[in-house]
Amino acid sequence: MKIQRFGEYYNNDDLINDFIHNLQESSGGEKSEIEKRFEEEFSDKAPTAQDFAEFYHKLRSEGFDGIEIFNILDDKIPSDDDGDSEPVSSTYKKIEKKILSDLKLDTKLVLTFGSGIASLYPIVDEMMQNMSLTNIDLSKQSIVLLTIAAITIIFLEEKKAKSPEQEDTLTKDSKSLLEELRMRGIGDGIVKKVIKAINGVKNIFTTIAKHLGAAVGGVIDMFAYTAILIPIMNGIFYIIGKYDMGVDQVVQNFFSLSIGVATRIAKHGLVELLDRLRKLISPKSKREIIDELETPVIQKFGDIQYGDSDIEQEGDLIKEQ
């Protein structure tokens, strides 16, 4: 599938529904053009992350949709080179499975965005540990609960529900998750901060990913770009750990990136992050990203106001503390 203007495609629900429907219909039929191109490019050779990134750029330059590329080639995308992350990821995933079962939560959201949500667990864990909170249960179980709650609320706020029934189910799940978190000493105020911090993480991702052809509107859109999501998230985890950044520090330094404003720490952190992503980011793209950080973009007042409006609209689910 080729598109002329991503904005028209992205904003048209019928086209998105048709795209998903076509993917389902073609799952057992003839190979798509993207699959054929992949086989021509790599034959029996397994591509490295760099090989895949270059192949992805080639298709994007020819007009193929980025999300379609990742969806069709999902099982062929090379994993990140960091082999140490798998045991950690497995620990969180085991806890995730138990929580979904114990609380009888709808599993569709977590299963659909599994790798994306899993990449956030260690980031949320590190941010929370760096807050040095007392009288709060910060076990791995609480971190998984907190992350799933935040993503579920973000999903609802970004209006991603496919039907009123799904929205009702996820709203019910959100309330159950929030109640469980309250019993662990994690109040709604902390959940709100984590939601804002995750949006800050999304802003870091968007700042980099747009130079790789990714078009990201919200947090949930970010999860579609599996090939670049994991290495970028690993880099963000490193930066948060190095600078001992808690939730508040992540919000202070990275939330404003969406309106073109970067703090000194944000600039230093992003430069270090880009250095760690040298296999993914070309020197030219790195210079462009750094130049953007030095030249703030003035947004329309409505766009600036929107940054906080999502969080404030959660009133029915999250109460002020």
SS3 call for 204:
helix
Residue with tokens 């210079």: 287
For residue 23, what pLDDT is reported? Answer: 40
Q: Specify the pLDDT at position 11.
A: 44
> Greater confidence, 49 or 277?
277
Taking CA atoms, 195 is separated from 27, 33, 61, 190, 299, in Å, by 35, 38, 34, 9, 22
> What are 49's two structure tokens?
């992350």
> Is the pLDDT score of 295 beyond 90?
no
> How many whole angstroms separate alpha carbon 259 and alpha carbon 255?
9
> Using an 8 Å Cβ cutoff, are 317 and 157 in contact?
no
114 and 182 in contact (C-beta within 8 Å)? no
Q: Are the beta carbons of 184 and 136 closer than 8 angstroms?
A: yes
So what's the pLDDT on residue 272? 85
Can you give the pLDDT at residue 170? 93
Average pLDDT over residues 81-107: 75
Q: What is the pLDDT of residue 16?
A: 42
Amino acid 163: pLDDT: 87
pLDDT of residue 192: 94
Q: How far apart are CA 207 and CA 199, in angstroms?
A: 12
Q: Which long-range contacts (CB under 8 A, 24 or more apart) does 30-34 make?
A: 32/72, 34/59, 34/64, 34/68, 34/69, 34/72, 34/73
More confident residue, 119 or 31: 119
Which of 282, 264, 210, 199 is closest to 236 using CA atoms?
A: 199
Residues 6+ apart with CB under 8 A from 26: 32
Distance CA 254, CA 108 (A): 30
The mean pLDDT value for 292-321 works out to 48
Query: Alpha helices, DSSP H only, in 158-187?
Result: 164-183
pLDDT at 317: 57
Average pLDDT, the chain: 76
Contact 255, 203 (CB under 8 A): yes
Residue 81 has which token pair? 């080179």
Tokens read off for 77? 């995308």
User: Secondary structure of the chain: what % helix, strand, coil (to 5)?
Assistant: 70, 0, 30
Q: Which of 109, 211, 97, 99 is nearest to 153 (CA)?
A: 109
pLDDT at 66: 62
**What's the distance, CA 219 to chain centroid?**
5
- Which tops the pLDDT comparison, 256 or 171? 171
Average pLDDT of the segment spanning 118-129: 92
Q: How far is CA 173 from the centre of its chain?
A: 20
- The sign of the dihedral angle between the CA atoms of 159, 165, 168, 174 is negative
Distance of alpha carbon 167 from alpha carbon 169, whole angstroms: 5
Q: Is this prediction's pTM over 0.75? A: no
Question: 1-15, 114-128, 212-226: which has the minimum mean pLDDT?
Answer: 1-15
